[in-house]
Structure 1
Amino acid sequence: MSELKETSDHVASGDVEIFYRKFGRPGRMPVLIVHGLSYTSYDWIDAARLIACDREVAAMDMRGFGESTWSVQHDYKLESQSADVVAVLDALGWSRAVLMGHSFGGRVMLACATWQPERAGAYISVDFAPDLAPAGRRHVAERIGRQPDFFKSVEDAMAYHGHQDVPLESRIRRRWESFLRKTEHGYVMKRDLHYRDMFRKALETGKSAPVPDFLWPMMAKITIPTLVVRATESDMFEPQTLEKAKKLNPRFVGVEIAGSHNLPGDNPTGLAQVVTKFLDDTSL
């Protein structure tokens, strides 16, 4: 369908250029999506297309990820990431939008919705809450923290991330090709090594960066329509944490759908369905 054609662009924000993909056509309130630490906007293409049936939907690459540039100053503060969201909203001409974030992107969008409330029509958290499950947090630290500077091939990168004997034309391979950049030294992941070094230091010292203590208070005070989605097989978001979120703020709509932490990859159709229902129910 012509209205679901993907377009893309970059916008300057601070010391970086932020890349974003856009789908759909003007209609109901638009949706802006931010990915997590192990993903890029590419991972949201399928779900974004489905959500964009009656509105515009954009998925951006965080600074240091995907097709966005890396910060020379290693400025990856939450405040700067929130400002990047606003820069994309401005570039798109959206005065307000539904702010949706997956995993770490949920943190970014929660902060943006709190600090820039006039830009947020609703907040959607996809497999994110301030309390991270210890097993999942350790798994992320190990996988990112032990990542080499370069991989010899796409196959080596996939094997490192648990994908063996992947067919050349498979969806998984295409995804990893999108997350890698070929250089004279090998294949580098499209994620600033700042993140690798941060997790590596945590592994070496045994001291992880603390989760900001202002995130739960942010969730408690948020008054815009909010959807919290948990993946049934998530290793990052425990069932009791979803109950904690719903008790903390009775306005929240909390749902569980089938899939792992990688919901946009595992179950884009189910994810799009719960997001669409939420937007319909809240008349957004």
Structure 2
Amino acid sequence: MPRDVREWLPPEHLCWKVLDIVELLDLSAFENSYRDDGRGGAAYPPASLIALLLYCYSKGIRSSRRIEQACWDDVGCRIITANRRVDHATVARFVRRHRAALNSLFVQVLALCGRRGLVDLSAVAVDGSPMDANASRDANQRLQRLEETASQCEKEIHALMEDAADHALSVEADGSTAQGDGEDACDNWPRLSRLCDRLTRSRLAKDRLHERAMPSPTEIRIKVEAAERMVARAEKRLAAETEAHQEKLRRYELRVREDRAAGRRGANGRPPVPMERKTSSCASERDW
């Protein structure tokens, strides 16, 4: 393998994209919080830790201890940290110390995505108010509710048409068309249009429910084939039962002839019932 860790991953890998994005961000809020008088221990560059956090967060790694382990196992983390192992305590302290600055990075990333056309920055306001929609709970109706809705619409449409007819008759009887009466009559037409549209949609929904309840041609064919197989098995079983019963009757008649030839009368017990009489007796009991 190449001795340089940077040659282990292709240029299109995620870690290179994260490093490029971090270079475009304003990190002055992080850098200004460190001392520049030469006192204290050396600190990790904020850009390196920010790139490490963004890279690990994008891969679903949130724990500081798992981030420390990724610095050993993940080649992308080793490239970002220059092949150094970052302790989990360092990661936790960095997140706790720069929490407000890390939150401000979201706005910078959002603006960067907006400049590249990756997101739409138009304002969207949602206050949690319930609104009617096609997928709302009230829009999902059963067959009984649809029938009630259609019946109610028909009644209201009939009432509006009766009112319109009465208004026309009153205008003809008075022989005048007052402007106020005309406006009152025309006010019902938008409501009539909404009722007709609601009635049409209710009927269409009822038809769709009926169509959905009806079995498909494939289901009908499968059920017919299953019924034909059941009838064939029943006929085969009936033929076998009939043949066995006929054989039983033949054996009984043979025993009767042998007993009579030997002089033994009435020693064969109760004779079996013929198939014809057995079928007629079962039918009569069912009718009763």
Under a length normalisation based on structure 1, what TM-score does the superposition of the two structures give? 0.18
Query: Quick one: higher RCO (CA 8 Å, sep 6+), 1 or 2?
Result: 1
The answer to which structure has the higher helix fraction is: 2
Structure showing greater radius of gyration is 2
The answer to which structure has the higher strand fraction is: 1
